[in-house]
Each structure stands twice: as structure tokens, then as C-alpha cells.
Amino acid sequence: MAAIFSGFGGILGFGDSMSLKVYNTLSRSVEGFVPLKKGEVGMYVCGPTVYGPGHIGHARTYTAFDIIRRYLEYKGFKVKYVVNITDVHDDLIRRADEDGTTIFSLAEKNISLFMKDLDALGIKRPSVMPRVTGHMKEILEVIEALEKKGFAYETEDGVYFSVSKFPEYGKLSGIKPKKRMTGTRVETDKYEKGDAADFALWKKAREGEPSWPSRWGDGRPGWHIECSAMSTKYLGNKFDIHGGAVDLVFPHHENEIAQSECAFGEKPFVKYWLHAGFLNVAGEKMSKSLGNFITIPQLLGKFDPKAFRFFIAGLHYRSRVDFRDEYIVNAAKGLAKWNAMIQGLLDADGKDNGDEVKTAISGARHGFEKCMDEDFNLPNAWAELNGFQSKINSILAAGGPSKADAQEAIAFMKELNSVFGFFEFGKKAEEKAPKEIRDLIAEREKSRKEKDFAEADRIRQELRQKGFELLDTPQGVKFKKT
């Protein structure tokens, strides 16, 4: 019954939580989604540490959560979406030192790059993107509350959270502190006293490091406290969804729970914990030393960002991602088929097919929502949508549909695009070629002018492999995506 009503949430303007189910890392099960406040969702996703440009792992996680956010909005929820920016961190201090700059100008440069990258990837700007440097007061208030309640203690080098005071520690990850008493944290050596599982809330300043004043002396926040402080400031002591990739379950999110629940007393401080699968490159963890580290600007220089988004949208947000160039090349082809279908509908002025188009639309909408309501099951949703594509293509091939039916099908594709953000409604393929492709075309033109036809042919082949077919027309070189 619920599924029948699910399509009306957006139209009526209220959040339909009757049918949506999400996998909650906290309960390790799929649960019905009931937000704290009817029709509204508060959602926080851990943001990037901005010591360099964003990488394709970030692109994966923020695209996955962007689709979740947009689907919640599609269902009529009013979503407040917070993504923090970590602009104080060991990595920033180290990189600023190496580059002979300050963490502030390093962060500024990478934040503006990151914003541009989000836009290019079709990721809607979050409602708020708070930065650590702008929230020292709030961070210190949480640490003070923890100390006052007896959960924190001061040492020579900082202020620490006492894990043994919070018996529920480990409830998210299933990792209990006893199992990692020694040797698992860098901070272990620095302790004067306390448990090896205890973690830093405040790090007292070392020579030459950026620092902020506090009642424990100058210093900077520990790794986890910023998220407790900023999520609470923007979403309240208790909110609906907290996300990040699976690498953050332990210790970051476990520590966030300990800090927030002990400081504010609301349990659970987050109702649903959602974790995206990690992205690896050709089967290996991305790392500078392996030479397989791909930044977002590198990705965008090589591929159409919409093809990357189409690739990510084809996967379940919880599945591990293996990134390979050929997957994006294939995704570009898959997306081109959808855009060709849309183009066919835009040009359609054919014969009436009775209820065929209307039936196909309502079946596809129902199937799409049913699958997305099952913990945002995109692979299943695409199976439904691919059936719709075949149906419409066969109608187009048979000389249909009528203009009016085509308009309805386009309206449906636009509804879907409010979630996906990668379909094109009438734009020319030429405008969308990534820089790398435009450069190759220019290079081929040069070779032809210089009568180096072997090189020109080689470039044509290379473009073909990348999914672009060149057409030498009287008006000059054109191309189409294959």
C-alpha cells in the first residue's frame, strides 16, 4: 500500500517516510526511515581535509550522498544538509610547511577548488559548509562540557576523552576498547596517564604550529571533536542522518558518538548512520606512493564529469568501488544512449500509441521509487529504468510517440534528473567534450594541416577508444559520442 502513495510525496510537498527504508550501521539492519520532525531531514556528512585538491574517493562519497539528498528531496522532504570542512589538521600543517605557506592560504586555495569541483560534478551545494577555524568557540564549549561532566581529563600535551567512562563505546563499530589497549594509536606514547584507547579532544600547541587560546592553554582541536561541535550547532543535539565513507566508522564516528552523547546527553545522537563504500583504483587503495592517486581536477581533465556521475549512480552507495578508466568510458556510452533517447523524444511528432507511453512512465516511476525506497538500491532502480528505455526506443523506432506523449516522457526524465543531474535536454554533444578531447581534436587538425596523416589517424583511433567518433563535414570537424 505504502508504495502506491510513494510518488505523491513530492507533489504534495511533504516528506513521505512511509515506504523508505535505510541500512543503519548502528543497528546493522535495514530500518523504516522516520525522521525526528515530520517532513524534514537533518543530514551531516564528514567533509574533506583540504590539504590538497579533492580526490576521486571524495568525488564518490559526495556524489553518493548528493543522490541520497536529492532523492529525499524528490520524496518531498525538506533537507538540511551539512558538510564540514577540515581546515586545521596535521596534514595541513605538514603540507603548508612543505609549501612554505600557511594552513590558512593553503585551505583557502583548496576550498575554492573543491567548490568548483562540486559544481562540475553536479553535486548540489550543501546547505552549510562550516569550517573548523570558524568554530573554535563551539568546539571549546563541547570540550568544557565533557570535562565538567567528568568525561575528559587534562595531560601535559592536551585534553583527552576517557573512553572507560562511556560503557557504550564500541556500539557503532563493534570494536571494544579492550581489544586495542596498546599500540593502536599514534597518541599512545604521549599519554601521561589514562587508557591507550583515550583520544585527544585538544592538542596543546607545539613550537611553530597554528594555535587558538583555551583554558588549557594555546592549542588546536583533536581529530574528532569538530564534527560533534558543528553537527550540533547546525542540526541540534539529535538529528536524522550522519554519513561518511566506511573508513570513518572507527574510530572517527565511534568517537563522535562518545563525545556528543556524553556532552549533550541525547541518545542516540544520530538516528541513522549511513556509510558509503570505499573507492579503490584498479583494485588497490589509492596512495601517492603507488602512483595511483587521482585528484578531481585530473578526473575532470580526462572525462566528462557527467559520465563519472553516471558511473557512480549505477552502483549501490554501500558497495565498494573499483575505479578504472574503461568503466568511465563505458559509462559515457551508457549515458549517451539515454541522451539519444531524450533527443528522440524532443524531436518526436509521431503516431499515437494509446496508453503505451503513459503505462511505461507510471511503471518506471513506480519501479524506480520502490527500489530507491529499499536503501537507495540504484542497481535495481536502473534495471527498471533500462526497461523503460527499451520500451521508449522501440516506440521511437516504430515512428512514435505523439508530441503530447513525448512531452510526458520528457517531464518524467526531468523528474528523474532532479535526482541524477546528468541527463541532457537538447544540448549539443560538442559543448560537453572534456578538455582532453578538445585538445586531441585540435592536435589532429594540426597533424592534418601538416599532412601527417598517420598521426591524424592515430589520434582518430585514440578518440574512438575514448568514445568520440569524428566526422569530417563541409562545415569542419564534428564529432559524436558513441
Chain residues binding ligand AMP by CB under 6 A are 46, 48-49, 57-58, 60-61, 86, 244-245, 247-248, 278-279, 286
Rounded least distance, CB 312 to ligand AMP, Å: 10
| Residue 404 neighbours by CB distance under 10 Å | 11
- Is the CB of residue 76 less than 8 Å from the CB of residue 16? yes
Q: Which does 60 bind (CB under 5 to 8 A by kind): ligand AMP, Zn ion, none?
A: ligand AMP
Rounded least distance, CB 3 to ligand AMP, Å: 31
Q: Which is nearer to ligand AMP, 74 or 114 (CB)?
A: 114
Tell me how far apart the 2 most distant CA atoms of the chain are, in Å: 82
Q: Which is nearer to ligand AMP, 298 or 461 (CB)?
A: 298
Rounded least distance, CB 447 to Zn ion, Å: 50
CA 442 and chain centroid, separation: 34
Q: Which is nearer to Zn ion, 187 or 405 (CB)?
A: 187
Residues numbered 208 to 227 that lie near Zn ion (CB under 5 A) are: 227
Q: Which does 339 bind (CB under 5 to 8 A by kind): Zn ion, ligand AMP, none?
A: none
Q: Which is nearer to ligand AMP, 191 or 278 (CB)?
A: 278
Rounded least distance, CB 245 to ligand AMP, Å: 3
Q: Which of 20, 41, 43, 46 is close enough to bind Zn ion by CB under 5 A? A: 46
Q: Which is nearer to Zn ion, 121 or 227 (CB)?
A: 227
Rounded least distance, CB 44 to Zn ion, Å: 8
Rounded least distance, CB 54 to ligand AMP, Å: 8
Residue showing the smallest CB distance to ligand AMP in the complex: 57
Q: Which is nearer to ligand AMP, 14 or 278 (CB)?
A: 278
Rounded least distance, CB 281 to ligand AMP, Å: 9
- Is the CB of residue 242 less than 8 Å from the CB of residue 273? yes
Rounded least distance, CB 112 to ligand AMP, Å: 16
Q: Which is nearer to Zn ion, 166 or 310 (CB)?
A: 166
Q: Which does 227 bind (CB under 5 to 8 A by kind): Zn ion, ligand AMP, none?
A: Zn ion
| Residue 93 neighbours by CB distance under 10 Å | 19
**What residues does 243 pair with on adjacent strands?**
45, 274
Query: CA dihedral defined by 396, 10, 80, 118, rounded to 10 degrees?
Result: 10
Rounded least distance, CB 4 to ligand AMP, Å: 36
208: left (phi over 0), alpha (psi -120 to 50) or beta: left
Q: Which does 247 bind (CB under 5 to 8 A by kind): Zn ion, ligand AMP, none?
A: ligand AMP
Q: Which is nearer to Zn ion, 46 or 364 (CB)?
A: 46
Q: Which does 83 bind (CB under 5 to 8 A by kind): ligand AMP, Zn ion, none?
A: none
Q: Which range binds Zn ion by CB under 5 A, 40-48, 121-129, 376-384, 463-471? A: 40-48
CA distance 371 to 381: 5
Say how many Å lie between the first and final Cα of the chain, rounded.
Answer: 42
Q: Which does 443 bind (CB under 5 to 8 A by kind): Zn ion, ligand AMP, none?
A: none
CA distance 356 to 405: 9
| Interaction of residue 245 with Zn ion, rule CB under 5 A | no
Q: Which is nearer to ligand AMP, 58 or 271 (CB)?
A: 58
Q: Which does 278 bind (CB under 5 to 8 A by kind): ligand AMP, Zn ion, none?
A: ligand AMP
| Interaction of residue 263 with Zn ion, rule CB under 5 A | no
Sequence-distant (≥ 6) Cβ neighbours of residue 99 within 8 angstroms = 106
Q: Which does 400 bind (CB under 5 to 8 A by kind): ligand AMP, Zn ion, none?
A: none
Residue 435, judged by CB atoms within 10 A of its CB (0-12, 13-18, 19+), counts as: exposed
Binding site for Zn ion (CB under 5 A): 46, 227
